[in-house]
Amino acid sequence: MNHQRLPRLLFLFFAGWIFIISCNNSPRTSGVKKIVDDPERMDQETSESIREALTFALQNNGLIDDSTRLSFLPLVNDYYEKAEYQNVWSHKERWEPLSDSLISFIQTGELYGLFPKDYHLENLLTMKRTLEVDSLKKMDAEMWAKADMVFTEGFMHLLKDIKIGRLSPDSILFNKIDTLTPRDFYTASLKTFAGQKQLTELINAAEPKVNGYIELKKCIPLFLDSMDRKQYTYVPYPFKVNDVKDSMFFIKKFQKRLRESGYVRQDSIATDSSLLNAAIKRFQKKKGIKQDGKISASLIRLINLSDVERFKRIAITLDRYKQLPPVMPEKYILVNLPSYYMDVWDHDSVAIRSKIICGKPDTRTPLLNSVISDMVTYPTWTVPNSIIAKQYLPKLKVNPNYLSGIGLHLVNDKGETIDPNTVNWSKYKKGIPFKVMQGSGDDNALGILKFNFNNPYSVYLHDTNQRYLFKNASRALSHGCVRVEQWEELAFFIARNDSMNLKPGDSLRYNTDTIVNLLARKEKKRLVVKNGLPLFIAYFSCEGRGGKIKFYDDIYGEDKVMREKYFSEK
């Protein structure tokens, strides 16, 4: 009987032995303790645990244990691989001073438009404290390894957000981060920090050097000092009018928000239309706006604009500055759509500040970077196809002479003027095979001068024949182009810049006097700009002015989109 059991016992013995070997050869996670009783051996064991944990993480979607995932695994692994997996944040069971520096910086991250919880702050504090006071866990190399990797990821994440922001697509941020900023930058930065122990200087060197970013950041401390940190319910808008479920969800959120601010009684469960109307009027009265009791996009924007939400807009704006070139040109034009202003920068000062009129919300001015290539005096206007299809074509089907009534005419591909009465307008639905043009003159929609720049949207900067509109506070009124109040000053600036930067042997065919004379003669003329002036059309919904932060209307809902995509849980 015993002889019969022997093969089975041998089988179980060898199976168990193979299992033990396989477990020992597999990467350890922090769930398995590795006790080291000699501090002199801790760094060697910690280094080996880091290697094993990263090998495991690469095979398990970033997990280093059941509860910890490295979202920036490619960067973290790259650093340790080049450092031969040596631990950086502690040595011989003692924390390095740079660990305190990182925690302190993260705790004050709001000064940089950051959210401290994004960088493992609570986890870092807990691990650091535990490994300082718990004598048994202090001997666990697995815990030191995990702490080292989490500190490294916190540093990498922090540096990435400072350098390139948070508004890029997730697939690029986490899977192809090296396509935005080379991985060597992060590895070298951590190596520099470990050697020099100067985190603030390192972070400041990674920040944008754009004037608007610097001025906005200067104003953050004052904003934080008086910030109301109460978290109010965010009200999503618009809702689907014909969707009962969606509209009821909106009403519940809206009532909750009014209740939080005391406009609806705390003990109320449901509010009928008359009570809701009265609550809205009370809110409108307090804000000093028209008391009509109606729900609108502007009302919801106002009720959502708590200090917590304002800080998110500050964070979004700082990140938008990070999408500009890391080094701006010495001279450039910056059009900020939400502010309705254009600034012409000459080195570190504003040479021209002008009101602008930009596109309506349904015909938005595109965000772009380009270069002014030429100027045209007394330009003609070729109407964009989008305007023709949406606005003109339906009216032409009713009245073929509609265009002539508003000073426009039809032109075929040969440049010949076409009689609109000879066209069968009923057969066209999405567009027409003709150009719609307006001749040059004082009544031209482009005014008497326009600035061309390469772009796929058929937009440009220009004068206008409706200069009285610059008096409006809200100036999102155009079909997409940017109307410039100080167009003449801009033209002269470009001309002088061309004159000042002539290359040896080169000649300039125009100057400021040329522009004045062409305009006086009402002559159409294209003036080629030799030294193209860089142009940035941007979307900054707040800015630092006079030591305080000025907030602008989110005219295109761009901040709303970014808020809901990247900052809804902040």
Question: What pTM value is reported for the model?
Answer: 0.86
pLDDT above 60 (res 22): no
Give the span between the Cα atoms of 379 and 404, in whole angstroms.
18
Do the Cβ atoms of 465 and 442 come closer than 8 Å? yes
pLDDT-derived band of residue 175, with 50, 70 and 90 as boundaries? very low
Q: What is the mean pLDDT of residues 117-139?
A: 96
* Residues 391-411 pLDDT 10s: 899 999 999 899 988 889 999
DSSP-derived secondary structure for 391-410: IIHHHHHH-TTHHHHTT-EE
**What would the pLDDT profile of 344-358 be if each residue is shown by its tens digit?**
999 999 999 999 999
Q: Give strand pairing partners of 417.
A: 411
Measuring CA to CA, how many Å separate 195 from each of 86, 128, 528? 14, 21, 53
Determine the pLDDT at residue 26.
45
Best CA proximity match to 463, nearest among 482, 475, 480, 447: 447
- Tell me the mean pLDDT in the region 209-233: 95
Domains of the chain as residue ranges with CATH:
28-205 (no CATH), 326-380+439-570 (2.40.440.10), 384-438 (no CATH)
**DSSP secondary structure code for residue 119 in this structure:** G
Q: Is 272 exposed, middle or buried (0-12, 13-18, 19+ CB in 10 A)?
A: exposed
DSSP 176-240: SGGGTS-HHHHHHHHHHHHHH--HHHHHHHHS---HHHHHHHHTHHHHHHT-----PPP------
| Helices vs strands, H then E, count in the chain | 21, 17
State pLDDT tens for residues 240-283. Answer: 777 767 788 888 899 999 998 888 877 666 567 788 889 999 99
Question: Do residues 250 and 325 touch, judged by C-beta distance below 8 A?
Answer: no
CA pseudo-torsion sign 55, 59, 60, 66: negative
Quick one: what percent of the chain has pLDDT higher than 90?
Answer: 69
pLDDT at 186: 94
In Å, the largest CA–CA distance within the chain is 120
pLDDT over threshold 80, residue 459: yes
Residues 233, 256: contact at Cβ < 8 Å?
Answer: yes
Phi-psi region of 546 (alpha: psi -120 to 50; beta: other; left: phi over 0): left
For 300-327, letters b (16+ CB in 10 Å) and e give bbebbebebbbbbbbbbbbbbbbbbeee
Tokens of 24: 């020992």
